[in-house]
Amino acid sequence: MNDSKLRVGVYQAPDIPQSFKVYASNVERHLPKAGIELVPFHGKNDVPGNVDLLWDIRSGGGNPPLEFMIGGPPLVVTVYGFAPITLSGWEYFRTVKGALMSKRYAGEKLDAWKKLRDGVTSIIAISEFTAKEITGYTGIPPEKIHVCHLAVDSAAFAPKPGAARGNYFLHVSNDEPRKNLPRILKAFRHLRKTHDVELLLKLPADRARRYQGIDGVRVIAGLLGTEELAELYRGAMGFVFPSLYEGFGLPILEAMACGCPVITSNDSACPEVAGDAAITIDPRDEHAIFKAMETLFRENETRDKLAAAGLQRVRSFSWRASAACHAKVLIAASGETNITQGTVD
């Protein structure tokens, strides 16, 4: 190999979720500075044969590593979480069939993990919460698991001096059941009875029509540019994100970086990301969601305090720091000792 660079084959599946793409692109752009050359591939038929390491970036939803990567170069897997295993079928799947099959579905995933886990050299977990789930569900020892937090682009998501705050709460998600939108709507309807306020939902186009025509609810469908999304955060009196499950919760940081007060869950990775800079509540308690929204509506001082705390909180998360963490894991997993490692700090 070139003794000054580590060549890493990166699996880039065409159908990975948008959040995974955001993660991968932000980490990957910094890795060349650390002496890492990335070689993308798209399936088992084009696995590069001249690399020192393979990196599977797509282990979300409890998905095990891909079997065709086992047995070759050392393998590092990024794990986002185990939502369909942790949650009940009714809280994860949209269909009755999915809910009824959930235990079988979870069992098959865990069986696959146990079969393949010894072929994984190292795991990158995106949160401490996810790291604990990895050990609990798969039996992979903690010493093989390394936490590299996600981050936010502080240039793209940032407050704008003089920007006016609107008269709306904001929710951004893909409307999976774990995003808890029915409870958000019930809490909002309660708030709407006595307060002149709107709820703005940013949803995929195929889900948006379900929420059209609800009193006080505005729906934005489809993709938005980064600046358009940042404008929504900046204008909201609060970002409402009481998810039942998040392996990390990137929108929490996006909202905070824009100076938007956050209401989020006290469960899964949400409190790890939010720290003391958000209102954290039981996501299954509709009244708690309502009271948090009412607090932000009524109390200007609380909104300002949380906005300032959020801006301070996001300074703890940067893509450079995340990439540096990744570089350390990748180089160690390769077993190479003659890498000329640069710095991404």
- For the chain, the domains span 6-151+318-334, 168-316
Percent of the chain exceeding pLDDT 70 equals 96
User: What confidence tier does 345 reach under pLDDT thresholds 50, 70, 90?
Assistant: low
Kindly state the tokens that stand for 331.
């180089």
Cα(122)–Cα(65) distance, integer angstroms: 11
Give the architecture (CATH level 2) of 168-316. 3-Layer(aba) Sandwich (3.40)
3-class secondary structure, 208: helix
**Fold match between 6-151+318-334 and 168-316?**
yes
Question: For 122-134, how does the pLDDT look when each residue is reduced to its tens digit (9 = 90+)?
Answer: 999 999 999 999 9
Lowest mean pLDDT, pick from 62-71, 139-148, 186-195, 245-254: 62-71
Query: Do 26 and 152 form a contact (C-beta atoms < 8 A)?
Result: no
In CATH terms, the fold of domain 6-151+318-334 is: Rossmann fold (3.40.50)
pLDDT at 339 over 70: no
Q: Region 213-240: what's the mean pLDDT?
A: 95
Query: Do 247 and 129 form a contact (C-beta atoms < 8 A)?
Result: yes
Residue 3 is predicted with a pLDDT of 55
Residue 164 is predicted with a pLDDT of 86
Q: Where are the alpha helices (DSSP H) in the chain?
A: 18-28, 83-86, 89-92, 96-100, 102-116, 128-138, 181-192, 205-208, 226-235, 250-257, 270-274, 286-298, 300-313, 319-334
Query: Do 126 and 78 form a contact (C-beta atoms < 8 A)?
Result: yes
Q: Region 140-162: what's the mean pLDDT?
A: 95
Lowest mean pLDDT, pick from 55-69, 272-286, 300-314: 55-69
Residue 342 is predicted with a pLDDT of 56
Q: What is the mean pLDDT of the chain?
A: 94
Residue 16 is predicted with a pLDDT of 83
Cα(132)–Cα(23) distance, integer angstroms: 21
pLDDT at 14 over 50: yes
Question: For 242-296, how does the pLDDT look when each residue is reduced to its tens digit (9 = 90+)?
Answer: 999 999 999 999 999 999 999 999 999 999 999 999 999 999 999 999 999 999 9
pTM of the model: 0.94
Counting every residue, how long is the chain? 345
Residue 1 is predicted with a pLDDT of 44
Question: For 24-36, how does the pLDDT look when each residue is reduced to its tens digit (9 = 90+)?
Answer: 999 999 999 999 9
Residue 268 is predicted with a pLDDT of 98
Residue 17 is predicted with a pLDDT of 84
